[in-house]
Chains A and B, each alone.
Chain A
Amino acid sequence: MSVTRQESGLADRDGGASKAASLEFRAVSKRYPDQEQAAVDELSLEVAAGDICVLVGPSGCGKTTAMRMVNRMIDMTDGDILVGGASVRERSPAELRREIGYAIQQIGLFPHVTVGDNIATVPKLLGWDKQRIRARVDELLELVSLDPSDTRDRYPTQLSGGQRQRVGVARALAADPPLMLMDEPFGAIDPINRERLQNEFLRLQAELRKTIVFVTHDIDEAIKMGDRIAVLKRGGILAQFATPAELLMYPKDKFVEDFVGADRALKRLALQRVRDIDLWRAATVRIGESTAEVRAKLEDADLQIALAVDDDGRPLGWLSQAALQGERVREDFRSKAVPTVDLDDILRDALSNMLEHETRYAAVVDGRGRAAGVLSIEVIGHTLHTDIEDVPSGADALVVDEQ
């Protein structure tokens, strides 16, 4: 039963023809006759099917030009681009574009047709029948968290900026394209809604697994969204193509180092959650427990301060030396167990929390509030040396149930 339901969830995607396509730039150049410097200079990179590849760089680095050559909005001067192994040069531009999702910062919704008709643009071009289009429009609106019955027949001017952006994404996804091009799709949104849309989009991507070329000038967005990041510099030269963690740990040159920023170590911490790293073991102790036992526990623990917990295992406070003087543990705290950090917290936030409370260590709790270990400044420092292969990126880095 459950298997059938799962299958239908994916198989409904019309024909099932398009999963995700790989993308390859082969020494792609774009030169304009009146300009000395190339807009894009022999760009070569491969994007695996289902990955988000972020093109990032300062303005004038050719990132948008590189993206627009994929669906032939701009024709390349030299080299070749392969989508799913086939050269885009041999395709008619209009046909090619119908198979590639396209979303831009200004969204470009058609103001004269309803939201539903906007989303139906490509399906109509492809000649889908009315019923299928209608079903698809509603499915997509739900997918981007809009109420179909409320939104379908409205005009774009009647929506908020965030809603319009969602419709733009839904429209780009309409014909279930194996490849999507997104040019600063969240660029014009206020920071709070932007963060929300980014998270929503990553959640969507975790399910859809499209191949995506994502253009941005914002390195933080690149680090958050990308499975792989291509950093471009002026003249369309590829400075580095790497995973977010690799980029932050091993910037290839001064340009990349400057571009990712002086706080790159902190940015790296944003890629990991507390649960992803090796925490210190804590000596968890109940009030009234024998002090001999506590000493044995402290032998095993990484931190030589015992953590008192209640009957449910929730941290109460850090015990003082005096508490362990007698036969039994007395209720005498050197400090309260404040702050506690959550297993699902991002490392950067956990660190910030600890710095704010001027403490070098903090009790870690699980979803039910039970002590699960100790996070210390030393542990965090240590994670900066962990193998970059173990740092998740893009949609993988997203914990599905965010609270």
Chain B
Amino acid sequence: MSLLAQVQIGNRASDSCLADNGFCPDWIAQNFDRYITPFTEHVYLTLVSVGIGFAISFGLALLAHRRRWLTGPITGFTGVLYTIPSVAFFLLLIPFTGRGYLSAFIALISYTLLIIFRNITTGLRNVPEETKDAARGMGLTERQLLWRVELPLAVPEILAGLRIATTTTVGLATLAFFAGAGGLGSQIYTDINFKSNVVVAGGLAIALAAVLDLIVLGVQRAVTPWQRARA
């Protein structure tokens, strides 16, 4: 396995650092290019999965908001999806949806549903009863109540869910290569013994998770100025 990986990474017998599978800044500087494609794949996997996952969860949450009895079944179903072991999930999908992005997306999206759905419904449920009563009493229709009062007030919880889902997906996407969808995971596993490789690929995944998290956090702060307003 390690012999094969060394062949793939390239010839590095001349360098003792490389020979030791160590952390080699020179090598990293020279070979950084090879991480660009896996990284963009990883970003793509994450953004598309979280995006579609959010859209589905949002729709399900609105449905459950209108028809309360659906909350249980939806939570149950997305909960089952969430508990499927990740490597198994990627591999299991291959016979049905083949190797590639489709299988990876299905698995990654499935994992986001429970988190986002639950946070949206919690956020909507936490809107104070008197606020809704006042809104209805002033003549807001149910639709206006939802879009002008309930959803804006649920934004902190919704975006908190989105943050968890995003960082989780960045992590899970490192396993997407099991479904043949590339990403930083495939790069890590090409030579898991070579420290430089693992540090760069793993570091990029961590950095991506951190940056995306900060972006969502920034959005949250920007759209909820009222949360920071104190006397």
Contacts and interface: CB of A to CB of B under 8 A. Distances in A.
Interface stretch (B137-145, B164-172, B189-197): B137-145
A398 to B, nearest CB: 27
B197 to A, nearest CB: 47
B31 interface: no
A125 interface: yes
Contacts of A94: 139-141
Tell which of A71, A107, A108, A122 has the most Cβ of chain B within 10 Å. Answer: A108
25 contacts: A71-B137, A73-B136, A94-B139, A97-B136, A98-B138, A98-B139, A102-B134, A102-B138, A104-B133, A106-B128, A108-B128, A108-B130, A108-B135, A110-B135, A111-B131, A111-B153, A111-B226, A112-B155, A112-B226, A113-B152, A125-B144, A157-B226, A158-B229, A158-B230, A159-B231
Interface string A253-296: 00000000000000000000000000000000000000000000
Nearest to B142: A94
Interface string B176-217: 000000000000000000000000000000000000000000
Contacts of B137: 71, 73, 97, 102, 104, 108, 181
A93 B142 CA distance: 11
A109 B139 contact: no
Interface string B42-56: 000000000000000
B138 to A, nearest CB: 5
3 closest Cβ pairs, A-B complex: A108-B134, A106-B130, A98-B139
Given A106-B130, A112-B152, A158-B229, A95 B135 contact: no
Given A73-B137, A106-B130, 9 more contacts: A94-B139, A108-B128, A108-B131, A108-B132, A108-B134, A108-B135, A110-B153, A111-B153, A112-B152
A157 B136 contact: no
A43 B150 CA distance: 35
Nearest to B144: A125
A97 B139 contact: yes
Tell which of B130, B136, B137, B153 has the most Cβ of chain A within 10 Å. Answer: B137
Contacts of A73: 133, 136-137
Interface of B: 128, 130-141, 144, 149, 152-153, 155, 224-226, 229-231
A107 B138 contact: no
A108 B129 CA distance: 8
Contacts of A71: 137
A201 interface: no
Contact of B226 (A95, A96, A102, A155): A155
B104 to A, nearest CB: 37
Nearest to B132: A108
A122 B138 contact: yes
A112 B136 CA distance: 16
A214 to B, nearest CB: 15
B226 A97 contact: no
Contacts of A96: 139
Contacts, number: 77
Given A97-B136, A109-B134, A125-B138, A155 B229 contact: yes
A333 B208 CA distance: 95
Nearest to A159: B231
What interface size band does chain A fall in? 20 to 34
Interface of A: 71, 73, 93-98, 102, 104, 106-113, 121-122, 125, 154-155, 157-159, 171, 181
Given A104-B130, A108-B130, A97 B138 contact: yes
B139 A125 contact: yes
Contacts of A108: 128, 130-135, 137
A151 B133 CA distance: 24
A158 B231 contact: yes
Contacts of A102: 134, 137-138
Nearest to B134: A108
A91 to B, nearest CB: 11
A152 to B, nearest CB: 13
Contacts of B144: 125
Contacts of A95: 139
A230 B144 CA distance: 35
Contacts of A93: 139
Contacts of A106: 128, 130, 133
B223 to A, nearest CB: 9
Nearest to A126: B139
A81 to B, nearest CB: 15
Nearest to A108: B134
A157 B230 contact: yes
Contacts of B225: 155
A112 B139 contact: no
A30 B123 CA distance: 33
Contacts of A111: 131, 153, 226
A232 to B, nearest CB: 21
A125 to B, nearest CB: 6
Tell which of B138, B152, B229 has the most Cβ of chain A within 10 Å. Answer: B138
Contacts of B134: 102, 104, 107-110
Nearest to A122: B138
Nearest to A160: B231
